Chains A and B, each alone.
Chain A
Amino acid sequence: MTLIATQSLTKTYGGRVTALTDLTVGVEPGIIGLVGANGAGKSTLIKILLGLIAPTSGQVSVLGIDPTVDSAAVRARVGYMPEHDCLPPDLSAAELVTHLGRMSGLPRTAARERASEALRHVGLYEERYRPVGGYSTGMKQRVKLAQALVHDPDLLLLDEPTNGLDPAGRDAMLALVHRIGTEFGISVLVCSHLLGEVERICDTLIAIDGGRLLRADHISAMTSATDVLAVEVSEGTEELAARLAALDLPVARDGRLLLVPLADDTTYDLILGAVAELDLPLHRLDQRRHRVAELFATRELTHA
């Protein structure tokens, strides 16, 4: 069944500011990345999905329920992690998550059990009895995730879960989100302005810009099958390009870089061999995936 479906969804604030324009998208359960620049309409879309604000026009359905009609039913099955700071500093994580579990309708004992389970799944153990005010940003983000998870939702809406985290923290958070989406059997909509980090974990990608849909598709359909090798030499780039072309490798230039499609491991050997024969100072040789960003870049170019 369709996890989230929108039909010509439009939201204007006060009749002037347009947050979403004619957004039609349908996604299957799994991990969905929602990417767009700040102000692209990501948070507006999430709030409409939660039934917190009503769309100006168009239809929307979440888990088969229309949030504009029965928002309570949607919210009972959805967990939401807001972007901004939302934790009372003087409560402990255990108290807060237990209380919010009760607010989702869990009985007292179940709320307490599920709260400590949720906190354990996000990696908070003994710290959970200390006041949240003393937590690091990474720990606070985990508490926010735990409270979204406490009532065992069928869908998680995560608004910028990696906000404010250092690179290691980002990786840990993304790994956690990936685990929730794959092992826990919970669908996740993760929203970010960083395409690079979302594309690593999601199955489906929705890209919006200025409230309009850029593209929504499976990630496998967006990234091309072949990877490329990027070669950079300090000098003699022309000679190397000519030599590689002579070896029947389809070389492309990208500034100081030479891009060679990676057919198999012998491609490495051919390139290294060519560099060695020409006796060129090799600066770098690394493998690049086709980034989704490149697809958007070319797409925008063709439209321009």
Chain B
Amino acid sequence: MPESSTAAVRSTPTGVIHDIGYQRYEGPRLGRRHVFGALYLHGLRTAFGFGRSAKAKIFPWLVVGIVTLVAVALAAVRSQIGEPVATYAQFADAMSWLVIFFVAVVAPELVSRDLRSGVLPLYFSRPLPRSDYALAKLLALVTALWLLLGGPQLLMFLGAAFTTKQGMRGVWNELLDLLPGLLYAGLWAVVFASVGMLVASLTGKRAFAAGGVVAVFLMTTPIVGVLSILPSRAANELAGLASPSTLVQGVGIWSLGDLLVEGDPGEMMIGGFGPVYALAAVLLVAGATALLLARYRKVAS
């Protein structure tokens, strides 16, 4: 009813002293893309505890502190002994426990809190579609995880680049090592965020959500252990599919090769099943995201 509302504005006397009457909003109203962006940024800030209480900052920043410390230590050792202790991808692998911990703290913070407080009807009564809410939160967690791993990788790169003895050529070579490492960090981020977000979206109780996330990631490791000692080569090589962490590592071994395992195949063998791992990772992420969207089609309606 724009006609009647403007009429109401016109009939109201303006310029009255002490007029603290209601003002209609005539400014711009941003579209779906902007609202999505605002929610995404809000989620990213929440992930690191910005705009939240000091208590909410403790755990995210504890994890950030540890991974940064490790990266600085690796860079320092490397500058002393002159050769890398761990590649960028190996660094990401080594930090997997901390990534799980981070997801267990941040995913419930992003979604379980909203479920518990019942604030969702306030979101869903606004133009924002339900799927946008879920995707913005998921994307925020993906970004947070990627920053968590990629930031320290960048530190390691800077350390190596400034101490290299081969000039610009050394920096360039280092950069070529860093980029796959960042991509690998992205893979970690996407897989762990999608699974963690799905688990956290199932309950409004943050403690349960955190426990659930840890359980999904850790309880699956024994299955990998059992499968990898079975007297069947195929079972051993496919064992990594049973747990998100080993799944990601399998994709890494297949796509990055010696950047991750450095000649020695290590304890984890995937044989010729590399593409199977990659497909499984894609299916896992797609499935988890689809279930997350399905969850938000139903919840709080």
Task: Mark A residues whose CB is within 8 Å of B.
Answer: 1, 3, 29, 47, 50, 52-53, 63-64, 72-73, 75-76, 78, 80, 82, 84-90, 95, 99-100, 102-108, 110, 114, 117, 120-121, 147, 151-152, 154, 180, 183-187
State which of B9, B25, B113, B123 has its C-beta within 8 Å of the C-beta of A151. Answer: B25
For the complex, give the distance between the alpha carbons of A186 and B271 in Å: 68
For the complex, give the distance between the alpha carbons of A47 and B121 in Å: 10
Determine how close the nearest CB of chain A comes to the CB of B207; give it in whole angstroms: 16
- Closest A residue to B21 by CB, please name it: A183
For the complex, give the distance between the alpha carbons of A139 and B287 in Å: 43
For the complex, give the distance between the alpha carbons of A184 and B21 in Å: 8
User: Does B117 interact with chain A (Cβ within 8 Å)?
Assistant: yes
Q: List 15 A-B contacts (CB under 8 A).
A: A1-B4, A3-B1, A50-B125, A75-B127, A80-B122, A86-B121, A99-B42, A104-B35, A105-B29, A105-B35, A106-B30, A108-B38, A120-B20, A185-B24, A187-B1
A103 near B22 (CB under 8 angstroms)?
A: no
A105 near B34 (CB under 8 angstroms)?
A: yes
Q: Which of B1-26 contact A (CB under 8 A)?
A: 1-5, 8-9, 12, 20-25
State which of B32, B118, B125, B129 has its C-beta within 8 Å of the C-beta of A80. Answer: B125
A1 near B125 (CB under 8 angstroms)?
A: no
For the complex, give the distance between the alpha carbons of A180 and B22 in Å: 9
- Closest B residue to A64 by CB, please name it: B1
* 4 extra A-B contacts, CB within 8 A, seeds A105-B127, A108-B38, A114-B25: A29-B4, A52-B125, A95-B51, A102-B35
Determine how close the nearest CB of chain B comes to the CB of A181; give it in whole angstroms: 11
For the complex, give the distance between the alpha carbons of A102 and B128 in Å: 11
B-chain residues with CB within 8 Å of residue A85 when the two chains form the complex: 117-118
Determine how close the nearest CB of chain A comes to the CB of B29; give it in whole angstroms: 4
User: Does B119 interact with chain A (Cβ within 8 Å)?
Assistant: yes
B4 near A185 (CB under 8 angstroms)?
A: yes
Determine how close the nearest CB of chain B comes to the CB of A158; give it in whole angstroms: 12
- Closest B residue to A96 by CB, please name it: B119
Q: Closest 9 CB pairs between A and B?
A: A185-B8, A152-B25, A80-B125, A88-B117, A184-B22, A72-B127, A105-B29, A105-B30, A86-B118
Task: Mark B residues whose CB is within 8 Å of A.
Answer: 1-5, 8-9, 12, 20-25, 27-32, 34-35, 38-39, 42, 51-53, 113-114, 117-129, 301
B-chain residues with CB within 8 Å of residue A82 when the two chains form the complex: 118, 121-122, 125
For the complex, give the distance between the alpha carbons of A95 and B52 in Å: 10
For the complex, give the distance between the alpha carbons of A19 and B29 in Å: 35
A86 near B119 (CB under 8 angstroms)?
A: yes
- Closest A residue to B125 by CB, please name it: A80
For the complex, give the distance between the alpha carbons of A95 and B38 in Å: 14
Determine how close the nearest CB of chain B comes to the CB of A262; give it in whole angstroms: 35
For the complex, give the distance between the alpha carbons of A108 and B27 in Å: 12
Determine how close the nearest CB of chain A comes to the CB of B30; give it in whole angstroms: 4
State which of B22, B24, B35, B122 has its C-beta within 8 Å of the C-beta of A121. Answer: B22
A185 near B9 (CB under 8 angstroms)?
A: yes
Determine how close the nearest CB of chain B comes to the CB of A164; give it in whole angstroms: 14
B27 near A107 (CB under 8 angstroms)?
A: yes
For the complex, give the distance between the alpha carbons of A29 and B123 in Å: 25
State which of B20, B53, B117, B129 has its C-beta within 8 Å of the C-beta of A86. Answer: B117
A78 near B27 (CB under 8 angstroms)?
A: no
- Closest A residue to B121 by CB, please name it: A82
- Closest B residue to A99 by CB, please name it: B42
For the complex, give the distance between the alpha carbons of A110 and B30 in Å: 11
For the complex, give the distance between the alpha carbons of A84 and B122 in Å: 11
B-chain residues with CB within 8 Å of residue A183 when the two chains form the complex: 12, 21-22
B-chain residues with CB within 8 Å of residue A63 when the two chains form the complex: 1
For the complex, give the distance between the alpha carbons of A186 and B23 in Å: 11
B-chain residues with CB within 8 Å of residue A50 when the two chains form the complex: 125
- Closest A residue to B34 by CB, please name it: A105
B-chain residues with CB within 8 Å of residue A1 when the two chains form the complex: 1, 3-4
B-chain residues with CB within 8 Å of residue A154 when the two chains form the complex: 1-2, 5
For the complex, give the distance between the alpha carbons of A118 and B125 in Å: 18
For the complex, give the distance between the alpha carbons of A214 and B122 in Å: 30
Check A89/B117 contact, CB under 8 A, given A1-B3, A52-B301.
yes
B-chain residues with CB within 8 Å of residue A90 when the two chains form the complex: 52-53
B126 near A100 (CB under 8 angstroms)?
A: yes
- Closest A residue to B51 by CB, please name it: A95
Check A103/B25 contact, CB under 8 A, given A1-B3, A63-B1, A88-B117.
no
For the complex, give the distance between the alpha carbons of A147 and B122 in Å: 8
- Closest B residue to A46 by CB, please name it: B125
